[in-house]
Structures are given as structure tokens and as C-alpha cells.
Structure 1
Amino acid sequence: MNWTNVVVAVLAGYLIGAIPIGFLVAKAYGVNILQHGSGRTGGTNVLRALGFGPAALTVLGDALKAVAAIALARHLLLTGELGAALAGAAAVIGHNWSVFLKFRGGAGGMSTAAGLIALNFYVGIPMAVIAIIVFYFSRYASVATLTASVGSLAALTIVLLAFPRLAHWEHLIYGFLTALACVWSLRPNIQRLLAGTERRVTRW
């Protein structure tokens, strides 16, 4: 393995993830999303501030960031699954703490889910469906994000133990790092969930 390429993949993954899609979309509509709602750049805050169209663009962009980072590592830098997993995780970290926004960003749910699908289709698709169902019935974006991140780590562990041919151990690194990043970013939301004061998403 070329470790230089792995380092390049991680740095590139972070910078790709750090592109503040939600901020740029909102800016195009004349809104500074950092000054609205939660101050995050993810699809939920954009939805509350600007509606479905801008939020859909944000969600798509955030998803593509993790996919692009993994594709770059796998197919151009030829880093193997370790480099792909680290690059994907770096993209989520870049999304949550963007160097272009003084280390502000989103919570990483959409980037995490899309990255897992790119890494492992067999685990990623079911987890994405479960997260969507959780969101649909709960209307809590934070709960859906936690499902996508922590649930992905649990699902990867189960698959590796029960069906090792369907996953690579390196994917666990992605699951662990993204779960940690999402949980850390959602600490205020978790506190509000426990207190019963978390806002539901009601605007479509």
C-alpha cells in the first residue's frame, strides 16, 4: 500500500467534505444559513430556512461529497479499502467542521449514509432505508442522523461477524469515525431529546 496516497486521500476527502454546500446554496438565495435556526449547514436547517428545493440541493451535494472522496481514494489514488474508508470518514469530518467556515458545518447524517452506500452497498442501502423510516415516523432529523451513524457501525459489526464476505474490516473504521463525529456534533440535540424539547421537522 502506498501510504502517501492514503494521506493524500484523507486530506482530499476532508477538503471535499469541507465544501459548505448548504452555506453556498443558502447564499445563492441571499441567506446566511449560519445565522438561522441551528446555525448548521445541513439539509434540515436549509429546509427550515428556505424550503424543499434548496434543501434538496443541499442534501444531494452533501451526499455526493462522501461518495466523491471514496471514489477518488479507490479509483484514482488506488488506496484500497483502508484509504477509501479513511477518505470517506474525512469527508464527513470536513462536512461537520469545515475549514472554510471556521470549523462550523452540519451533523453529517447524509454524508455518512451516502459514504456507507459507496463503501458497502449491502449495508448502506438497508441502513439508509431504516434512517428514512425513522425520520418519517419521528420527524426528528437528529434521531435519523444518529440512526444512520451509530446504526451503521452496529450493522457493519454484525455483517462482519455473520457474513464476512460481504464487508471489509476497514469499513469498521469508517463506521466508528463517522459515528463519533455525528454523536459529538449532535450533543445539543441529544440533550434536547432527553429533555423533550427537540424540534421536529414539520416543513416540507
Structure 2
Amino acid sequence: MEWHKVVFAVAIAYLIGSIPIGYLIGRAHGVNILQHGSGRTGGTNVLRALGFGPAALTVLGDALKAAAAIALARHILLTGELGAALAGAAAIIGHNWSVFLKFRGGAGGMSTAAGLIALNAYVGVPMVVIAAIVFYLSRYASVATLTASVGGLAALTVILLAFPAVAHWEHLVYGFLTSLACVWALRPNIQRLLAGTERRVTRW
């Protein structure tokens, strides 16, 4: 493995992930999304502040960031699966702690799910469906994010053990790092969930 390519891919992926889509969309509407609601740049906060259309654009942009980072590493820089996994994780870290916003950002749910699909659709697609169902039933964006991240890591582990022909051990690196990133970013939400004070998403 050419490690200089992996390092370059990770650095570029972090910058790609750091592009604050929700913040930019908010600014285009004359709103500083960092000063609304949770102060995060993800689709949930944009939905609450600006409505469905801007939120949908935010979700799409956040998803494309992770997928683009993985595609860059895998198909252009040819880093192999470990490089792709590390680049995907770097994009999530960039999304959550953007260098362009003094290390503020989102929680990484949509980016994590899109990256999981890009890495391994056998795991990613079912997990996105499950996370969507969890969100629909609970209306908790934080629970859906945890489902996509921690659940994705669990699903990757099961698939790797049961069907090694359709999985790569390197993908566990992505699952582990993104789970840590999402759980860390969602610490306030987890505390509110435990206290029964977490806000549900009710605006569509």
C-alpha cells in the first residue's frame, strides 16, 4: 500500500467533509444556522429553521460529501479498501468538526449512512432502511443517526463473519471510527434521551 496516497486521501476527505452545506444553504436564505436550534449544520436543524426544501438539499449535499471522499480514495487515488474506509471516516469527522466553522458542524448521520452505502451496499442499504424506519416511528433524528452508525458497525461485523465474500475487514475501521464520531457528537442528545427531554422532529 502506498501510504502517502492514503494520507493525501484522508486530508482531502476531511476538507470535503468540512464543506458546511447546511450553513451555506442557511446563509443563502439569510439565516445563520449556527444560531438556531441545536446550532448544528445537519438536515434536522435546517429543517427546523428553514423547512423541507433547504433541509432536503442539505441532506443530499451531506450524503454526497462522504460518497465523494470514498470514490476519490478508491477509484482515483487507488488507495485500496483501507484507504477508502479511512477517507470516508475523515469526511464524517470533517462534517462534524469543520475546519471552516471553527470545528463546529453536524452529527454525521446522513454522511455516515451514505458512506456506508458507498463502501458496502450489502450493509449500507439495509441499514439506511432500518434507520429510516426508526426515524419514522420515533421521530428522533438522534436515534436514527445512532442506528445508522452503531448499527452499521454491528451489521458490518455480522456480514464479515457470515458472508466474508461480500465484505472487507477494512470496512470495520470505517464503522468503528464513524460510530465513535457520531456518539461523541450526540452526547447532549443521548443525555436528553435518557432524561426524556429530547425533541422530536415534527416539522415537515
1:62-112 deviation line (CA, Å, top 9, x unaligned): 000000000000111000000000000000000000000000000000000
Query: 1:103, 1:183 → 2: CA distance?
Result: 16
Amino acid at match of 2:191: Q
Amino acid at match of 1:187: R
Give the aligned partner of residue 49 of structure 1: 49
Amino acid at match of 2:40: R
Give the aligned partner of residue 167 of structure 1: 167
**Count of aligned positions:** 204
CA positional deviation for 1:119? 0.2
CA positional deviation for 1:197? 0.2
Give the aligned partner of residue 3 of structure 1: 3
Query: 2:140, 2:63 → 1: CA distance?
Result: 19
Give the aligned partner of residue 31 of structure 2: 31
1:41-78 deviation line (CA, Å, top 9, x unaligned): 00000000000000000000000000000000011100
Query: 1:148, 1:27 → 2: CA distance?
Result: 28
Give the aligned partner of residue 178 of structure 1: 178
Give the aligned partner of residue 106 of structure 2: 106
Query: 2:60, 2:8 → 1: CA distance?
Result: 25
Unaligned runs of 5+ in 1: none
Amino acid at match of 1:35: Q
Runs of 4+ in 1 over 2 A off after TM superposition: none
Query: 1:131, 1:193 → 2: CA distance?
Result: 17
1:158-203 deviation line (CA, Å, top 9, x unaligned): 0001111111000000000000000000000000000000000000
TM-score by length of 1: 1.00
Amino acid at match of 1:44: T
Give the aligned partner of residue 58 of structure 2: 58
Query: 1:191, 1:165 → 2: CA distance?
Result: 39
Give the aligned partner of residue 136 of structure 1: 136
Q: Secondary structure at the match of 2:41?
A: coil
Over the matched positions of the two proteins, sequence identity in percent amounts to 86
Give the aligned partner of residue 88 of structure 2: 88
Query: 1:76, 1:137 → 2: CA distance?
Result: 40
Give the aligned partner of residue 155 of structure 1: 155
Query: 2:26, 2:121 → 1: CA distance?
Result: 31
1:108-165 deviation line (CA, Å, top 9, x unaligned): 0000000000000100000000000000000000000000000000000000011111
Query: 2:153, 2:12 → 1: CA distance?
Result: 23
Query: 2:16, 2:83 → 1: CA distance?
Result: 15
Task: Let me know the Cα RMSD of the aligned residues.
Answer: 0.3
TM-score by length of 2: 1.00
Query: 2:107, 2:74 → 1: CA distance?
Result: 25
Query: 1:11, 1:168 → 2: CA distance?
Result: 23
Unaligned runs of 5+ in 2: none
